[in-house]
Structure 1
Amino acid sequence: MHLVAITSRESEIFGAVHDAIERSWFEFLSLCGVVPVFLPNDVNAASALLRRCEPSGVILSGGGEIFEISGEETSRDSVERFVVRWAEENSKPILGVCRGMQKLLAMEGVVSVPVGGHIATRHRIFGPDVDREVNSFHRFGAKGKVGRYRVRAEAADGVVEWMEDRNALRTAIMWHPEREQPISREDIDLVRDALNV
């Protein structure tokens, strides 16, 4: 089993801010041969965990809006920027999922725009070697050129759903593999390949 760091979302309950991860990640990552190391939304704590655990890769998980979309800087935004720099400096692969893909795009200067028909639904994605149905839970996406990334698949409306830069060890998808029921073998293979596990 490989240790992989995964970012957590922020939520406020009765005025207290909590860091959380969707439980479905446990089973999914276990099937990928991965033990998750949950990163808190605190740069100092996340840095200490990364140094101590030395994970073999990083997942930028989904959920919530990035600063570049919401205009509200959160601790999570700071941690995600730090984690991407750490992964680059240590030659570790990065997998961005939904929000994680938006963060990787934003760090390249690519603007995510409002998109319709992608919230709490399913749709097909298409690419040179891809034609499948995926879940969709996002209100923003990118179309056309996506910086240094190669587009692997798009939705019928041109929204980029899967991109990668193999030289930089970066892969990103807009769907949530952890939410698929039953869990998709294609997603397991994709994640294992993206994280080199």
Structure 2
Amino acid sequence: MRPIIGITTYVDQATWGVWRDVPTTFVPHDYVEAVTQAGGRPVLIPPHEDVDVLRVLDGLVLAGGPDLSPELYGAEPEPLTVTRPDRDRAEILLVRRALDTDVPLLGVCRGMQLLVVAAGGTLHQHLPDVLGHDRHRPAPAVYGEHDASFVPGSRIAGLMGDDLGIRCFHHQGVADAGKLTVTGRAEDGLPEAVEDPDHKFVLGVQWHPEVIRDERLFGALVAAAAK
């Protein structure tokens, strides 16, 4: 049987067909297709504060989305920080339990930041204030494209090989990775990948591999979940 891979989701207002501005649970279909093409069976996980769902999951994708609440890492919100507290409360419980029970995890963008915060790390709330540029989120709905460097011998280096190009869309980033190991950085030094070698599979990437259905990363998650 294909391993069951949970994907965290958004809850927001949406419009489709005859319905207008309806509270909706959803996630970009790229995540579903990326998991499916990698050999997994995707299951969408709404943001409920109930971690028992992990009992039926073989792996977990922490999807992208809004900024994390700075309260999770002991900071005050800055003017450009936009959060979804209900999702934060649910997902921090989910990721902590997943780490405790060694469920294979892949964190994407916000998902990587969630892994970092769960591991005791902190975030920069607005990267242009820190880096002096907006190349990680150049415009609305426009991905920033740049090269990353990876630590030789790391999981992400083995998966990416000589392909160093990444596509990202975020205005927050990792300041301190906590207990996680930074294994990839952008050209400006910002962490782009984190890992926890003490777990079966814990990988966070700041870019969006689901957009290109990257079977290297999703395939590695599915392979770990199948063991």
Q: TM-score range by the shorter chain?
A: 0.7 to 0.9
> With structure 1 as the length reference, what TM-score do the two structures score?
0.84
2:121 and 2:179 in contact (8 A); partners too: no
Secondary structure in structure 2 of the residue aligned to 1:142: strand
Q: Which amino acid aligns with 1:63?
A: G
* Aligned position for 1:19: 25
**1:111 pairs with 2:122:** yes
2:194 and 2:205 in contact (8 A); partners too: yes
Q: Post-superposition shift, 1:72?
A: 4.3
**1:57 pairs with 2:75:** no
* Aligned position for 1:186: 216
Q: Post-superposition shift, 1:187?
A: 3.2
Task: Tell me, in whole angstroms, the C-alpha distance in 1 between the residues paired with 2:47 and 2:63.
Answer: 12
1:95 and 1:194 in contact (8 A); partners too: no
Q: Post-superposition shift, 1:57?
A: 1.6
Secondary structure in structure 2 of the residue aligned to 1:29: helix
Q: Which moved more, 1:164-173 or 1:14-23?
A: 14-23
Task: Tell me, in whole angstroms, the C-alpha distance in 2 between the residues paired with 1:135 and 1:81.
Answer: 25
- Give the root-mean-square deviation of aligned CA atoms: 2.3
Q: Which moved more, 1:82-91 or 1:34-43?
A: 82-91
Task: Tell me, in whole angstroms, the C-alpha distance in 2 between the residues paired with 1:25 and 1:159.
Answer: 24
Q: Which amino acid aligns with 2:196?
A: D
| Pair 1:23–1:90, CA change in 2 (3 A) | same
Greater Rg by CA:
2
Task: Tell me, in whole angstroms, the C-alpha distance in 1 between the residues paired with 2:52 and 2:215.
Answer: 34
Q: Post-superposition shift, 1:185?
A: 4.4
Q: Post-superposition shift, 1:177?
A: 1.0
Overall identity of the aligned pairs, in %? 26
Q: Post-superposition shift, 1:98?
A: 0.4
1:97 and 1:173 in contact (8 A); partners too: yes
| Pair 1:17–1:173, CA change in 2 (3 A) | same
Task: Tell me, in whole angstroms, the C-alpha distance in 2 between the residues paired with 1:108 and 1:161.
Answer: 16
> With structure 2 as the length reference, what TM-score do the two structures score?
0.74
| Pair 1:95–1:185, CA change in 2 (3 A) | closer
Task: Tell me, in whole angstroms, the C-alpha distance in 2 between the residues paired with 1:107 and 1:64.
Answer: 17
* Aligned position for 2:45: 39
Task: Tell me, in whole angstroms, the C-alpha distance in 2 between the residues paired with 1:9 and 1:156.
Answer: 30
Structure 2, unaligned runs of 5 or more = 15-19, 71-76, 128-133, 138-142
Task: Tell me, in whole angstroms, the C-alpha distance in 2 between the residues paired with 1:190 and 1:153.
Answer: 17
